[in-house]
Structure formats: C-alpha cells, structure tokens
Amino acid sequence: MDSPIYMMWLRQLKRYWRSKARVIGSLAQPILFLVALGFGLGPVFQAAGGGNYIDFLAPGIIAMSILFTAMFNGIEIIWDRQFGFLKETMVAPVSRYKIMIGRTLGGATVAMFQGIIVFLISMLIGFRPSSIPMIFVSFVFMFIIAMLFTAFGTAVASKLEDMQGFQLIINFIIMPLFFLSGALFPITGLPEALKMVIRFNPLSYGVDGIRGALTGLSAFGMTLDFAVLAVITFVMTLIGSYLFSKIEI
C-alpha cells in the first residue's frame, strides 16, 4: 500500500517504537500515579464510601497517559522543521492534508497503545474491569481521545518553531486538562463553578467514557461522552489540518 496517509502512519509508528527509552520513560508517570495515589489514598476513598479507589483511578490514569503521549507528538513537527526533514515531506507531490491526517493517525495509534499498556499494568496492581466485552468499547474511547489531542498538539506545533516554547505551552494546557477532568476525584458534590469547568473540558468526557466502559460508572452517560468527543475531534482535526497546511518551510 503506497497511500500517503498509510505511509505517514507507518512512519510515526516506526519512529516511536525505535526509541525504547521513550516507551519506558513515558510509563513512569502513570505507574507512579497508580501506585502512589491508588494505594496512598485508597483507604481514605474507601472510608468515605467511594469503594475501591484503584477501580476509580485507573480509567483516569489511562486517559492521562494517552493525553500526554498524544499532545507531545506535536513536538516532532518542530523537530523535523529544525532539521530539514519536514521540508522534504512538504515538497512531495502529496496533499498536506493527507500528510497531516497520516501523522495524526500514527500519533493517535501510538498514544492508544500507550493507554492499553497502562491498562494492562493497572490490572497487574489490582484493577478489574466490570465487563470483558466492554473493554473493546473503552478502546474506542481511547482512540478518539488520542485523535483529538494528537490533532491539538499538531495545531499548536504548526504555529511554533521553538521546542522549548511548545513544551511550555503544552504543559500549561495539559495540567488543567488532566486535573479538572474528574480523573482523580468524583465530580458529584463539587461546587457548581468547578462542575461547569469540568463540563467544558473535553478530556472529562474521555475519562468518563473509559470509566463507564470499564467500571459501569458514568457521570454524563456514555452516549453523550461519545457524541461530544466525536464532534470536538472532527473540528480539531479540521483546525489542525488547516494550520498544518499553512506551515511555511
């Protein structure tokens, strides 16, 4: 198959898996969150009537690992631009939209693999999904989250030329997205102002969708989670494609 989308997708996968240090290093933070928070706050969460905190926490940490991997995928655009690889790609007789879609699909696939690895690790430390068939539904949510934030990272990287600037901006965005998504705490009983912020956070619907599929607990409803994520992902992919097409090399 010589489709430009397929070739860019395959290239992204090869670049990621060639870097074993990157694969291992990207697992350190999710494992730390699962162990430190899962076992550290587990008794408090259970005493408050919340049940098993590992079961509640694992879907949020899976979403976190996908978020981080997907967003930082955009830095490869800046890297390629600085070292001339992007110019070689952009001057090829191929639509820039197809190049962007291929890169986004590749980055999203990598981020989804990352989420699946964290899911398997969470099972080793005690997490148990409520339904085996629904695991495949959670994979759908993982992929949509990965597509959304890979496209977002691409959109940001398309407007920047400095890797340090990209890292600062992405870190500034990532932390509020993660901590205000309901990944670490239930959203029931929160002040209305905070609930409103969480409802406007697209990651909230991804976390809720994965949690609903894996544990049966959903604050918004999985149908709404899917609809909101699908619409936002479509819009963000269009924005990312447009900004990528306007890159000056």
The pLDDT of 111-129, averaged and rounded, is 91
Confidence tier at 92 by pLDDT (50, 70, 90): low
Of 158, 133, 137, which is closest to residue 208 (Cα–Cα)? 137
Burial bucket for residue 182 (CB in 10 Å: 0-12, 13-18, 19+)? buried
Q: Reply yes or no on whether the pLDDT at 232 is more than 70.
A: yes
- Tell me, letter by letter, the H, E, C secondary structure of the chain: CCCHHHHHHHHHHHHHHHCHHHHHHHHHHHHHHHHHHHHHCHHHHHHCCCCCHHHHHHHHHHHHHHHHHHHHCCHHHHHHHHCCHHHHHHCCCCCHHHHHHHHHHHHHHHHHHHHHHHHHHHHHCCCCCCCCCHHHHHHHHHHHHHHHHHHHHHHHHHCCCCHHHHHHHHHHHHHHHHHCCCCCCCCCCCCHHHHHHHHCCHHHHHHHHHHHHHHCCCCCCHHHHHHHHHHHHHHHHHHHHHHHHCCCC
Of 120, 18, 117, which is closest to residue 69 (Cα–Cα)? 117
Each residue's pLDDT tens digit, 8-66: 666 666 666 666 556 676 778 888 888 888 888 888 877 777 778 899 999 999 999 99
Of 60, 57, 69, which is closest to residue 207 (Cα–Cα)? 60
Give the global pTM: 0.89
Higher pLDDT, 13 or 173: 173
Burial bucket for residue 175 (CB in 10 Å: 0-12, 13-18, 19+)? exposed
The pLDDT of 89-97, averaged and rounded, is 70
Distances (CA, A) of 115 to 5, 123, 164, 234: 23, 12, 26, 21
Q: Residue 20 is encoded by which pair of tokens?
A: 């074993």
Query: Which residues have C-beta within 8 Å of that of residue 14, sequence separation ≥ 6?
Result: none
Query: For the chain, which residues make up each domain, given as ranges?
Result: 4-245
List the single range of 80-94, 100-114, 122-136, 209-223 with lowest mean pLDDT. 80-94
Q: Reply yes or no on whether the pLDDT at 106 is more than 90.
A: no
- 138, 120 contact by CB (below 8 A): no
What is the separation of C-alpha 148 from the centre of its chain, rounded to a whole number of angstroms? 7
List the single range of 81-85, 164-168, 182-186 with lowest mean pLDDT. 81-85
Query: Which residues have C-beta within 8 Å of that of residue 121, sequence separation ≥ 6?
Result: 27, 30, 31, 34
Q: Reply yes or no on whether the pLDDT at 90 is more than 70.
A: no
